[in-house]
Amino acid sequence: MKGQLTSRLVCSFFSETSKLRSLSGCDIIKKQLFCKGCVGIKMRLDKYLKVSRLIKRRTIANEACDNDRITVNGKTAKASYQVKPGDIIEISFGNRTLKVEVLAIADHVLKNDASTLYREIL
């Protein structure tokens, strides 16, 4: 599938890690995601928020978008917005606001690796 990480691609990235001891698997994935051939990688906003574990459930992420609690690049975004690396997402939790930059897109990540998909901006 064009523009999506498949398990076969991820396995090849991690097998490459064993050859290059100085890079971790996440570093290799980030390097691949920022290459010129991978510009088209996108994901729905509600799914990204769930996969990255910024919001626990996709339905809650969808409701947050409907209630204008989430902005992308300074504009209110719908749940169907296509997130791409480099986007800035702001999430309003009551009186607290979380601002993150999207670093990578993945269909599934382990709990420990979820924070590698974004960088928190202060």
Paired tokens of 122 = 């202060």
| φ, ψ for residue 49, nearest 5 deg | -60, -35
Paired tokens of 107 = 């269909």
Give the model confidence (pLDDT) of 37-88 as tens digits.
345 688 999 999 999 999 999 999 999 999 999 999 999 999 999 999 999 9
Paired tokens of 102 = 């999207």
Return the higher-pLDDT residue of 65 and 6. 65
Please report, rounded to a whole number, the percentage of residues in the chain having pLDDT higher than 70: 67
pLDDT at 47: 96
pTM value?
0.68
pLDDT level of residue 22 (50, 70, 90 thresholds): low
